[in-house]
Structure 1
Amino acid sequence: MNENTALIPFRIDIPQADLDDLRARLAHTRWPEPVPGLADRTDFSRGIPPVYLQELADYWRDEFDWRAQEAKLNAYEHFTTIVDRQRFHGVHVRSSNPEATALLLNHGWPGSFVEYQQLVPLLTDEFHVVVLSPPGFGFSTPLSGTGWELARTTEAFAEIMTRLGYERFAAHGTDIGSGITGRLAALHPERVIGTHIGADPRYLGLVGEKFPIPDGLSADEIAQLEAVHSADAADRGYLEMQNHRPDTIGVALTDSPVGQLAWIAEKFKSRADGDRRTPEESVDRDQLLTNVSLYWFTRSGTASAQFYYEAEHSGLEFAMPSGVPSGWAVFDAHPLVRRTMDPWKAIGHWSEFTEGGHFPAMEEPKLLADDIRTFLRSIS
């Protein structure tokens, strides 16, 4: 049977019953007993502080306006399409310039197409922008089955770009999306004009695991790398659960909105040394809660965790070399990022910013937009 390749117009319209259910669940949250001495709302050393989480949950229940955010998102063109029996959701924003270059934006976890909400309007003067959600994320649900990992997703994204009419395009990505971006270039170099990666010091956690430790590091550099690994290890609980036990954590994320909120909001805590900012001081609170709400309404807490399991057990390399021009923008820059991930300075465009972090499209959208534009102009 031939697969239906149609691009089907899509509009976000969460049923009112789902909104009422969310508020009711938030109102009846069973909170843990407070532990004496742990009342600091900015101390994330043991995870997200319950006192801070309760403040955020109260705002989500009583003040956050999903319908207003839904209307903003619906200002863009949305579509769904089926590839290999899996439903994919995409956002397609055409430039006023019909000759503009197509630009695919790839996100990771715990992001979504909402992550690029502020970035898209900064790019459409020069680019036709496409944002695709990987299987298990947002409206690219429910999952059609097992086996959706980087390689299969990359081929599906290439097919969708063809359906949209873009034989040639550029790609940007962060987190998991950087793996998809790099794989697109490696497997389809005749189609990908250039790749742009948004990175931060957390990428150093991949050195020694997904990327080799380069020769010639000094004793001080090795000590710095070990310090980063030590800090990263303290933050890997979510990764081990999603890599190996997605079904177990998925039940809690699907049944408890506060559980889903805690699981995601903690990752928006700034990781700069000594920084005491809470998540909504790093990113817009309503945008953060729109992202969390999307996970809640689509049950993506479980489905997106399956992507981690599939990737961990696929045996695939996260990064694939290609001859396609590449640019990196490193936010909250650490000198070891280039020293370890590009020791030969093979990446032609390399930018470092003291601002931002793991979610540059939400934290510093203008810096990111300008860097993408500068890089793609340099290779045109």
Structure 2
Amino acid sequence: MTPNDIRPFRFEPARADLDDLWGRLDRVRWPDEVPGTGWEHGVPLAHLKDLVRHWRTGYDWDGALAELDAHDQFVTEIDGQGVHFLHVRSGREDALPLLITHGWPSSPVEYLDVIEPLSRDFHLVIPSLPGYGLSGPTRELGWGSTRIAKAWLELMTRLGYERFGVQGGDWGTWISREIGVLAPDRVVGMHGNGIICFPIGAPGELDGLTEVEQERMAFRERYLTDQYAYKLIQSARPQTFAYGMADSPVALLAWFAGVYHEWSDEEVPADRLLTTVMLYWLTNTAGSAARSFVETPDTDQDTSVEWELKPATVPTSISVFPKDVLRPIRRFAERDNAIVGWVEHERGGTFAALEQPEVFAEDVRAFFASLR
């Protein structure tokens, strides 16, 4: 592939790799478990055994691959890195291009259930993050949010989209925000399901917090002492972490299943989870994705990453789902962003397009319609 080339793509894993995977699932070495601990120590043994049994005997990989292949996929090279993306054009001539960026541990599979409703109004561009699944692995360090945002701007230029909207979840909110900071003249608006924002120690910023805001601050403290372990492990020793993820599909599934359980309001469809795990396993990119955590600021606790919180001027709307791992507080979001919309939902979590696809799609459509 030469620079600027965009080629059609279909994922065709080697039969030997699939046979190897099924063989590994047939000879799992299970750990012991202290009875009665539930999810307190991580994914329960019975839960994971059920997932692995379904993976081996009930999950339809060929069907999942066909569902992905039902949408136009492409690959290109940007800044020395292979980039995979879905490009679904709308039937509307005046459709707005919309760039959707997923987070971790995710992939474009997260958005399969919202492609049809969103494509009524948008030309959709849904890339795999550099180093993640079909865009991986990365071969060098430095793929932080700013570099990815620049790559996404180049991608949209190659596709002929001068003006477009951006949407993101999890880390994708930070990348989408950064695109607007770098090129506010090109970005019509930014929608996030959640947004990364936090107190900065300014005088009076915690005065008068509502009960809901106090609960979110309390969750933030629990996140930093408990669930933040996902980031600490991967950002501190990503290479050591990678060996287990590359050698054991069950270890990879357990790691992802724990995140999807803890960061969701309800269990996401098992087949959607397994398809994402398959993409990481067959491309051997769990370790590559882990490296991105070295360069991903998402709290004021991050001292190993040099970054500056630059004000964003692009009109921004946030959909807040109660079990989202981000759980933003509006006063902090408004400090650094041009917040023009804020929708609080009663159900849903981090993977809103999977958990609440109809609500997710309607929020995105309504926000960008308001900007026309």
TM-score normalised over the length of structure 1: 0.89
Deviation by residue 1:246-297 (Cα, 9 ceiling, x = unmatched): 111111111110100011011111558xx8xxxxx52111111111111111
Task: Supply the AA of the counterpart residue of 2:236.
Answer: H
Matches within 5 A, 1:26-65: 26-38=25-37, 43-65=38-60
**Structure 1 match to 2:329:** 337
Answer yes or no: is the 8 Å Cα contact 1:7–1:79 preserved in 2: yes
User: Which residue is 1:177 aligned to?
Assistant: 172
Contact 1:170 1:193 in 2 (8 A): yes
Distance in 2, matches of 1:105 and 1:18, equals 30
Stretch deviating more after TM superposition (10-19 or 105-114): 10-19
Q: Which moved more, 1:344-353 or 1:73-82?
A: 344-353
Change in Cα spacing, 1:333 to 1:27, as seen in structure 2 (3 Å) is closer
Deviations 1:51-74 (A, max 9, x none): 111111111111111111001100
Quote how far apart the aligned CAs of 1:316 are.
Answer: 1.8
Unaligned runs of 5+ in 2: 298-303
Report the equivalent of 2:300: none
Q: Counterpart in 2 of 1:74?
A: 69
> Which residue is 2:301 aligned to?
none
Deviation, structure 1 residue 320: 3.5
Runs of 4+ in 1 over 6 A off after TM superposition: 209-213, 219-222, 333-336
- What do the CA deviations read for 1:128-165 (whole angstroms, capped 9, x no partner)? 00001121111111213221111111101100110011
SS of structure 1 residue aligned to 2:342: strand
The 5 A counterparts of 1:236-255 are 236-255=228-247
CA drift at 1:376: 0.4
The Cα shift of 1:362 comes to 0.4
Q: Is the 8 A contact 1:246 1:302 kept in 2?
A: yes
The partner residue of 2:131 within 136, 139, 142 is 136
2:226 aligned with 1:231, yes or no? no
Give the aligned partner of residue 111 of structure 1: 106
On the 8 A contact 1:172/1:181 being kept in 2, the answer is: yes
Secondary structure (helix, strand or coil) at the match of 1:348 reads strand
2:268 is matched with 283
Equivalent position to 2:92, from 80, 97, 101: 97
CA distance in 2, matches of 1:247, 1:212: 41
Q: Give the secondary-structure state (helix, strand or coil) at the position aligned to 2:162.
A: coil
- In the alignment, structure 1 residue 322 sits paired with structure 2 residue 312: yes
What amino acid does structure 2 have at the position aligned with 1:256? S
Partner of 2:6: 7
Q: Contact between 1:104 and 1:169, CA under 8 Å: does it hold in 2?
A: yes
Shift of 1:189: 0.7
Matched residues in 2 for 1:123 and 1:342: separation?
27
CA distance in 2, matches of 1:62, 1:269: 22
Structure 1 residues 180, 222: CA separation in 2 closer, same or farther (over 3 Å shift)?
closer
**Amino acid of the residue matched to residue 332 of structure 1?**
P
Q: Give the aligned partner of residue 161 of structure 1.
A: 156
2:359 is equivalent to residue 355 of structure 1: no
Tell whether the 8 Å contact from 2:8 to 2:73 is kept in structure 1 after alignment: yes
Alpha carbons of 1:118 and 1:225: their partners in 2 closer, same or farther (altered >3 Å)?
Answer: closer
Aligned residues: 363
85 and 352 in structure 1: CA distance in 2 versus 1, 3 angstrom threshold: same
- Which AA in structure 1 matches 2:222? A
Asked if 1:207 corresponds to 2:198, the answer is: yes
Aligned: 1:258 with 2:246: no
Q: Verify the 8 A CA contact 1:3 1:83 in the aligned structure 2.
A: no
Conserved in 2, the CA contact under 8 Å of 1:214 and 1:343? Answer: no
**Counterpart AA for 1:257:** P
Equivalent residues of 1:26, 1:257 under 8 A apart: yes
Return the letter of the residue paired with 2:9.
Answer: F
TM-superposed CA distance for 1:221, in Å, is 7.2
